[in-house]
Amino acid sequence: MWSHVVFDHPATFQTLAMEADKKREVIEDLVSFSQAKDFYARIGKAWKRGYLLYGPPGTGKSTMIAAMANLLLYDVYDLELTAVSDNTVLRKLLMQIPSKSITVIEDIDCSLNLTGQRKKMKENKAAEEEEKGPIKKQAKVGDSDEGKTSKVTLSGLLNFIDGLWSASKGERLIVFTTNYMEKLDPALIRRGRMDKHIELSYCSFESFKVLAKNYLELDSHHLFDTIERLLGESKVTPADVAEHLMPKTSVADVETSLKSLVQALEMAKEQAMLKAKEEGKEKESSAREED
């Protein structure tokens, strides 16, 4: 059963740390979808759209979902697949979701055995068990089944996304998030299921300016040029940047916050350079061993 919680997240696209062009593209896509009832009926498709949000942790995937909901005034249904016992229960839950809603499955790569990578690992493990002998293999399978709490399968999830049951309600968004898109089964994220793939990456200078406006009410500062250069030379997430812009005391000022950020960016740059050198040495060492 679904439990009701009042959705009161303040995120909007205006406060979302993201490049303006990409932000505009997403907004236009969402608005276009919400007004496309006749179009979907004409082409004979269910009135739904899938979004895959991917990128490193701390890049704003959950915040974007809240902004999407606030833009369209949709309800959010947060689905934890590991808490669903089987495909039948999954179908019942999903059929209860009304129109004008966003169904969210966060960290889809961590949800059950739904990734191509895990499928390969499972197949390799099964081959190893086969070599050990049928008696030991049978005991292992029994242990695995006892500890299993969910029997939701990839096919069961796919049937909901674009099977017959996907048309049971109109005007619905389905959003998956992942930190590691390469781990996902291609069948899960192909166009037609996850129609739009949106990458949320490390903080750019344009994203930083949005955060500076949000946290410090600041449009310009003499340290902005330094920050722009350092952001181009290091990889930090919007969450990392926001932490340094967040006032730590009642007397914290703009200068202190920006200097703290500059120091963190310089440290991140140094760490990136050290990592690059270490990787270079490892490659050279491997090349010598091959020779």
Average pLDDT over every residue of 228-236: 94
The pLDDT of residue 116: 47
Q: What is the mean pLDDT of residues 195-199?
A: 94
Distance, C-alpha 42 to centroid of its chain: 32
pLDDT at 158 over 70: yes
Instruction: Tell which residue, 197, 196, 193, 218, has the closest CA to residue 208.
Output: 218
154 falls in which pLDDT band (50, 70, 90)?
A: confident
Residue 51 pLDDT > 90, yes or no?
Answer: yes
Domains identified in the chain and CATH numbers: 20-114+149-199 (3.40.50.300), 205-285 (no CATH)
Q: How confident is the model at residue 272 (pLDDT cuts 50, 70, 90)?
A: confident
Q: What one-letter code names the amino acid at 215?
A: Y
Mean pLDDT, range 29-51, rounded to an integer: 93
Q: What is the pLDDT of residue 252?
A: 67
What integer is the mean pLDDT of 241-253? Answer: 82
Q: How many helices (H) and strands (E) does the chain have?
A: 12, 5
**In the predicted structure, residue 144 carries a pLDDT above the cut 50:** no
Q: Evaluate if residue 65 carries a pLDDT over 90.
A: yes
Cβ atoms of 75 and 69 closer than 8 Å: yes
Nearest residue to 41 (alpha-carbon basis) of 171, 232, 182: 171
Average pLDDT over residues 114-130: 51
Average pLDDT of the residues in 210-215: 95
